[in-house]
Amino acid sequence: MQQSAKLVIIAIIMHTFSGCAWMRPHDPVAANIDRQIMITIGVADQQPVHLMGYRGPDNASAQQSKPWINVKKIARFIARKYALKVISIWPIEALGIECVVFEIKDDRTTAQVLAALSKETQIESMQTISSYRLLAYNDPYFHLQNTVTIDGLEQVHEWATGKGVVVAIIDTGLDTRHPELQSKIVYKGNFVAHDQQQFDDDEHGTAVAGVIAATANNDVGIVGMAPDVKLMALKACWHEDNGSSSRCDSFSLVKALVKTLELDPDIVNLSLTGPPDSLIARLIKQASEQGMIIVSAVDQAVGIKHSFPANMLEVIAVTAPPIGHADASYGLSFLAPGMDILTTAPGSGYTFESGSSMATAHVSGVVALMKEKDPALSGEGVRRLLSHTARVWDTLPVVDVCAAMMQLNEELVCTSSAVVQVTHVGGNLFVE
């Protein structure tokens, strides 16, 4: 399938804050920056508000016990009254205020709107939006990572980075000496009897590990989805045909899974697929019962129904573009970025990889972020949350890390900046 048929993604990230100290960048569309204004509303030590249009609860006892201001209602009231659109709301607890960004709907100037808003006594301060150069990650290839820049990962990482979460990668070996990965490895085991000498030079596992966990702000390379996770590297697969393909067998996978049950990580990444195996299925079920979250790849050629272990109820199934449009069963899996993914390569290098393996690693990283903030999340809980917050294209749920994380933290306002188009060519769906 021609690469030119790939879906086009336009990602715009705006980083603007004037007057709100160093709060995280929640701002949305940079193209409309000259049409946006920001106000602050004081919320500390305030009495309940009983103003028409933004009234608090009527429960008197609740009001007396907890003075408060409903900033969301105030913002909606102001938006209706002055023909504005609410873009984002977030608190600055240290200052006892909340910031609200509005966009002007008509042809009025920002000065005219600010003059009109000056009559509102609930507004503490107001200003236009200024643009600042973001001093973001110092990893030089970060700007090439479309999968992280479009998902507002910098915003998410100010709240969660996967700290305290352990991901087991059952795959080929991986480059444990890579500067992006060497500090992450807490376990290394080789379960391939005939390939004991090969581990750090294996490509596939290295690529998967980079997508999940590449170190942030280390002045080299890229940034992983969950850059503070710890990794367990379990080699159950090996490269063959001069590295052009890789494979595993049931025995090596069983040995690796048995060790995984003993190690008890939070997440198990299985960027692999093959024929059904009852023993492997039993081990995966046991891992799920122990509380592990298993993420596995769908074979794009056959769909989820014929992809094992992705078709197990205990597994979060992930696929990547392009996929066969005719197979409606793909709606049972999650779609994630998997085309031309920049990731780590053996020998401290970097490479672009494509396929469901990379999409699976992407989702494992997302799950690690979720687990950091809610360690009690089960596999089924993760599935429900991802489903509830997914962007849906042609019945396919597309993982949205911003939306998922915002469900876990009402104070986080994260903007997924991707504008997605779906293109069907030759019976295949391209989405990225």
Q: Which residues are catalytic?
A: 171, 204, 357
How many Cβ atoms sit within 10 Å of the Cβ of residue 351?
14
Helix (H, G, I), strand (E, B) or coil at 76: helix
Beta bridge partners of 128: 37
Q: For residue 279, what are the contacts with CB-CB under 8 A and spacing of at least 6?
A: 250, 254
How many Cβ atoms sit within 10 Å of the Cβ of residue 65?
9
Q: For residue 69, what are the contacts with CB-CB under 8 A and spacing of at least 6?
A: 41, 42, 43, 46, 48, 49, 56, 122
Instruction: Give, for 112, the enclosing helix (H) or strand (E).
Output: helix 110-117
Which stretches of 4-62 are assigned E, i.e. beta strand? 9-11, 36-42
Say if residues 317 and 311 touch (Cβ distance below 8 Å). yes
Q: How far apart are CA 225 and CA 183, in angstroms?
A: 16
Rg of the chain's alpha carbons, rounded to an integer?
24
Say if residues 173 and 207 touch (Cβ distance below 8 Å). no
How many Cβ atoms sit within 10 Å of the Cβ of residue 408?
17
Q: What strands, in cross-sheet order, belong to the sheet with 391-393?
A: 185-190, 230-235, 166-171, 267-270, 293-297, 315-319, 334-335, 396-398, 391-393
Task: Locate 358 and state its tokens.
Answer: 């990379």
